[in-house]
Structure formats: structure tokens, C-alpha cells
Chains A and B, each alone.
Chain A
Amino acid sequence: MISFEQVSKKYHEKNALVNTNFHLQRGDMAFLTGHSGAGKSTLLKLIMLMERPTSGKVIVDRQDLGQLNRTQIPAHRRKIGLVFQNHQLLMDYSVFDNVALPLKISGYNERDSGRRVRAALDKVGLLDKEKLSPQVLSSGEQQRIGIARAIVNKPKLILADEPTGNLDPALSADIMRLFQQFNQVGVTVLIASHDLELIKRLPHAVIQLDQGRISGPPSVMRQ
């Protein structure tokens, strides 16, 4: 699903990623760990085409991203469900409208979009909050709304950048269980996180970044 081939990224002569190679199979779930500044965000940004690599090749869903021009970026991003650390919800939108946003930009009509939004909210257990403003929700609930928005489009790939960064361990475990559920129905999931305690308890591959380099092949920490 995701392939990095000799990918490097430099910001003003500072190396963010150096000759990175990794491969994530369709239907896999993996964690991306490392200290802050190790290149986790850069790696996700390259997959989202928020950045272009300085050298090397990024392939997502059999598509070489280097061949996509500016106008093709939106279609690429619509294939990916993105979950942010700070959830990036729009506070002047209702919960429903926040989740419906990816459908609206894809041109869904109200009926289809309503059905899908409610299905997504149901999945994260917040169906009864659709009319509220995200402002009145707890941070755990806000994060789950962010996840509902990421999955509403039924993407084949979910990327999450520190999705449990602001949450206590119990809530974090809830969130991870959600991702596992999506993975069980065939969605590829890549989660950047430095919450090693949590990762150790989960049976998924771990890609470890250290100063822009991947140290060793993906491995399951628990082993």
C-alpha cells in the first residue's frame, strides 16, 4: 500500500529523512515511532503530498506520487483518511458537518452523505452528538469525531499523526481499539506515535525512525 524507496528529505540543508526504505502491505497496521524530530511528521507529509521528497520515490496505492501534479493532489488525498493530533475540527461547524466535510467536497448529495455520516458517528460511538458543536465535547470525543471524519469516505488507507497525544491512557487505548477495528475490515493503518507504553501492548509492526533513518526492519515490539 505504501512504499518508500531511498527517500530523502532536506529542509534548508537539514536532513529530515535519509535514504528511507519501507514497505507497508495492503491491510497492514503499523506504528511509526521515534523521538520528536526523528522525521515521523515528514514521512506522513510525504504520503499526504504536503511535501515532496528531495530524492527517492514514494508509492501509495500503486501510484508513484512523483508523477502527480498540483491539480491531482486533491484526488490523492481523498483516498486517505487523516487523523491529527489536535483533531483539526472546525468549531463553527456542527459535529455532523465536520464529519460530512470529506463527502461534501466529493459531491455527495445530502441523503447519501447523511447516511454515511451517521454510520461513521455510530462507529465511534457518538451518534447522539451530531447536532452539537465540537467545542462542547471532551478531548477524547473530539478525537473520535476526527476519526469519524477520516473514515467517512471509506478510505483504503488511514494515517494518524499522534492520535493519542493529548489523551489519558484509558482513552488512548479506546482510540487504538477503533483503529484496530478498521484494520480488521481491511483498511491499511499507519499511526505515528511516541507512546511506547501503548505500542508495546499491541501486536503490530513498528517502524522506528532515528534522526531521519529507519533503524532495522519493521518489527513487533512485543516479541
Chain B
Amino acid sequence: MAFFKNRPPRNASRSQPESASTRLFREHKEVAISSWYRLWQTPFANLLTWLTLAIALALPAALLLLLSQAQHLGQQVNQSSHISVFLASSIGIEQGQVITAQLGSRPDVAKATYISAEQALVNFRASSGLEDILASLTDNPLPATILIEPENTALGPKAVAILAQQLRQQDQIDQVLVDMEWLDRLQALLDTSERFTYSLALLLALGVLLVVGNTVRLQIESRKQEILVIKLVGGTDAYLRRPFLYAGFWAGLFAAVIAWIILQLGVSYLHQPLLLLAQSYQSDWQLHGLSWLGSVLLVLASCGLSVLGASLTVGRQLRLIEPR
């Protein structure tokens, strides 16, 4: 029967040999699923961990969200800031208009508006309610003014300050007023908040690492016997590590989802009063929730930190458990 020699035996076809990558994928899938089921064996304890992680994530995320949108607002305010240029009293209307045209043609000036001394008096009379007193004056005490809107610039208050400085050096100009202090203060406040937020985010990220690390440490402790036996029958470190890394991943995912819900609730709670506040400053600024990109970043950061926390702990803890 040499004819059949090369034919495989009939029962040899019962299982195809797996390639290494197929096997690895199958093993990971199995561990991902089994660690998912393990989550629901202690749902309450896990929920507490996830809430802790979620709060640690939601706090810096909320601050970052607020900060990024406040910086946007800060830029808007910068853009709408005016410079008031008071001309020397010797400058007549015609000369004033020429200067205005010159200033208006500067690249860093968006718009220059000339307000004559008479017009200024009319405006002031209308808005101040001091008509009687003004009527008793023989001379107009107000100077002619040029209102300057700086060009929209991402350079912020510095560019405005430079423009004001240059204006001051001109002879025809008596005085230049910019509400710089207020802008400086706003910028300083934003810078401070930014650093505060980053420091807080860093600390809380560390907190996430520690919480996950500690949870994994406890899990390893409670499965010590299992780990010992697996080591004795020849389980590799990678095999032992995998379920804990997946547990970290699931914790990160759930924490991100809870943090996302906390954030959206917080935004909708703050939305109305912030809208009123912005309106009182004639701004249409609104607080928006997390964007798609923001949400994805939140999930990535959460899962990444959790897996990192788990892997930092699991390597060290597993080495402590050796069969003796």
C-alpha cells in the first residue's frame, strides 16, 4: 500500500496547527474575556475603585476643559480691547484726521476712529448727566481722541503694549490709555491656572497609578496560591502578567466612562450661570462639554495610566511570589 504512504492519516486533519500570531491573539482574547468576567465577581469593590479613578481623572479633565475654553475667551477679550489716544490740544480737526488716517494704515491697527473734542463733549454730556456743570464751562475741557482697535493678533497683550509704547513717542499725542493692567492680570491669572492645572493633573495621574497599583497588588495577594501553582507547572511571567494588565485596562475604561459622565453633568450644571456671566460682559462665550477628540483622549489617558500602573506593580509583585 505504498501508494497511500504520503497521504496523511485520516484523523490527522482534526486540528490545523495554529500560527504563532493566531495563538497569541486567541490567548489575549481569552484573557480579555476571562478578566471581564472576573470583574463581575466583586462588582462593588470594583465600582469603588472605578469611582476613585474617575474622580481623579474628572478633576484635572474639568480644569483643563475650563482652562482651554477660558484661554479662548481671554483671546476674545484681547481682541476687543481698545487703545484711547488723546491728542495734544494744539492739534486741529484736520490734522487730527490726518493722524487718524496714518494710524489706521499701520499693520498692527485694525481700525482707528477720530472723535473730535466737540463730539467727545456731546458724548460725555449724554452719558454723564452732568449737563448743568458742563454748560457752565466756557472752554471744552476734553481733548480730541482717536480710538484704536489693535489688529487681531495672537501675540496677546504684549503686542498691544508695544503699539501703545510707540504711540506715546509721537509728539502730537498727549496721552495713551490702555487698560493693560486688567489684561495683564487676566493673562497672569490664566497662566497661573494653567500651571496649577498641570501640576494637579500630574499629581492625580500619579494617584491613578497608585490606586491601580494597589488594587492589582491586592488582587495578586488574593490569587497567590494560583500564581504559585502556575509558576510550578511552568507558566511564564507574560502569562501571569496578562490577566492583571487586562484588569487594569478594564478599570481604566470604566473609570474613563464614569469620568466622562461626571464631566458632562458638571458642564450642564454650570452652563446656565456661566452663560449669564458671559452675557453680562457682552460675550457669547459658552462652556462646551468634551469634544470627540477630548473624549478619546480621556479614554486613552485613563486606560494608558491604568495599564501602566498595573504593569509597574505586577512585575515587582510576581517576583516576590516564588515557589519555595
Contact = CB atoms under 8 A, between A and B. Distances in A.
A109 B15 contact: yes
B229 A71 contact: no
A116 B3 CA distance: 32
A198 interface: no
Given A50-B324, A76-B234, A105 B15 contact: no
Interface centre among A45, A107, A111, A153 (most CB of B within 10 A): A107
Contact of B15 (A50, A111, A153): A111
B24 to A, nearest CB: 8
A77 B233 contact: yes
A79 B234 CA distance: 8
B271 interface: no
Contact of B18 (A48, A109, A153): A109
A40 interface: no
Interface stretch (B63-71, B171-179, B235-243, B257-265): B235-243
B199 interface: no
Interface in A71-87: 71, 73-79, 82
Contact of A101 (B27, B230, B236): B230
Nearest to A111: B15
B28 to A, nearest CB: 11
Given A50-B324, A101-B230, A74 B235 contact: yes
B322 A50 contact: yes
Contacts of A76: 234
Contact of A90 (B26, B229, B231, B239): B229
A71 B15 CA distance: 30
Contacts of B237: 71, 74
Nearest to B23: A107
Chain B contact patch, size range: 20 to 34
Interface centre among B225, B232, B324 (most CB of A within 10 A): B232
Nearest to A90: B226
Given A50-B323, A90-B226, A111-B15, A101 B23 contact: no
Nearest to B225: A90
A26 B304 CA distance: 50
Given A50-B323, A50-B324, A88 B232 contact: yes
Interface residues of A, number: 24
A197 interface: no
A212 to B, nearest CB: 18
A101 B229 contact: yes
A48 B225 CA distance: 18
Contact residues of A: prevailing secondary structure: helix
A82 B233 contact: yes
Contacts of A213: none
Contacts of B27: 107
B322 A105 contact: no
A149 interface: yes
B233 A149 contact: yes
A102 interface: yes
Nearest to A76: B234
Interface centre among B26, B225, B233 (most CB of A within 10 A): B233
A13 interface: no
Given A105-B235, A112-B15, A88 B230 contact: no
Contact of B234 (A50, A74, A111): A74
Contact of A105 (B23, B225, B239, B324): B239
Interface in A85-121: 88, 90, 101-102, 105-107, 109, 111-112
Nearest to A72: B236
Interface in B215-262: 225-226, 228-237, 239
Given A71-B237, A105-B236, A109-B26, A88 B324 contact: no
Contacts of A107: 23, 27
B171 to A, nearest CB: 82
A71 B235 CA distance: 11
Contacts of A71: 236-237
Interface string B11-30: 00001001000010011000
A90 B15 CA distance: 29
Interface of A: 45, 48, 50, 71, 73-79, 82, 88, 90, 101-102, 105-107, 109, 111-112, 149, 153
15 contacts: A71-B236, A74-B231, A77-B231, A77-B232, A77-B233, A79-B234, A82-B233, A88-B225, A101-B229, A101-B230, A101-B233, A105-B233, A109-B26, A111-B15, A153-B233
Interface of B: 15, 18, 23, 26-27, 225-226, 228-237, 239, 322-324
List the 3 shortest-distance A-B pairs measured between CB atoms, nearest first. Answer: A78-B234, A77-B234, A105-B235
